[in-house]
Structure formats: C-alpha cells, structure tokens
Amino acid sequence: MTETKDKPRVSITYCTGCNWLLRAGWMAQELLQTFGEALGGVTLVPGYGGVYEISVDGTLLWERKRDGGFPEPKEIKQRLRDVIEPERDLGHSDRKS
C-alpha cells in the first residue's frame, strides 16, 4: 500500500474576495470522488486578485485567466488523469458529448 505522502497532491487556489470557496470545494469533492485513494489529498488555498488555479504536485492543470474561465469537472478530471494515471479509463468522462 502506498503511503499518502507518496501519492499526488492537488491544490486549488481560489480568490477569497470573489467568493469562490464553494466552487473550489465542489471541484475538490469531484476530484476526490473520482480519484479517491489515488490522491494524497486536495488542498484549498485562499488567494486574491481573481485567482483560480488547479495544480498537481506543482504542475498547473488549469488557470482561470489563461484557460478562459472555470473548468468543467470533466476537463479537470481528464487533465489530472493524463498526469497521474494516463492509462486510467474515466468512463463517462471520457466519452464525447
């Protein structure tokens, strides 16, 4: 069994002034629901200035300003999977809309 410290860790940095805590918490829940024990944790990081970033072990997966708004869970799950478990099938999240 792999220890939690050896597993990938996701961080979600959100703007406190924009009240994006609920959005960040919802995304954390989505990632934990999908990846469960494959993750070492998801950390919510308060920020400011309109920031909304999702990264895994320092690799930026999504940045609101760069990527044009907020991600759909499907997009973030695919990007996270591609970094931590490229062979993993995400089921319905991998199917075209």
pLDDT band at 95 (very low <50, low <70, confident <90, very high): low
Q: Which residue range(s) make up the domain with 79?
A: 4-85
Number of domains present in the structure of the chain: 1
pLDDT band at 4 (very low <50, low <70, confident <90, very high): confident
- Domain presence at residue 19: yes
Residues of the chain above pLDDT 70, percent: 92
- Domain presence at residue 14: yes
Specify the CATH number for the domain of residue 58. 3.40.30.10
- Domain presence at residue 53: yes
Find out whether 44 and 12 touch, Cβ atoms under 8 Å.
yes
Q: Judge whether residue 25 has pLDDT over 90.
A: yes
**Residue at 37: amino acid letter:** E
Q: Judge whether residue 1 has pLDDT over 60.
A: no
Q: Report pLDDT digits (tens) over 27-38.
A: 999 999 999 999
Burial class (CB within 10 angstroms; exposed 0-12, middle 13-18, buried 19+) of 61: buried
- Domain presence at residue 47: yes
Model-level pTM?
0.89
Q: Report pLDDT digits (tens) over 49-74.
A: 999 999 999 999 999 999 999 999 99
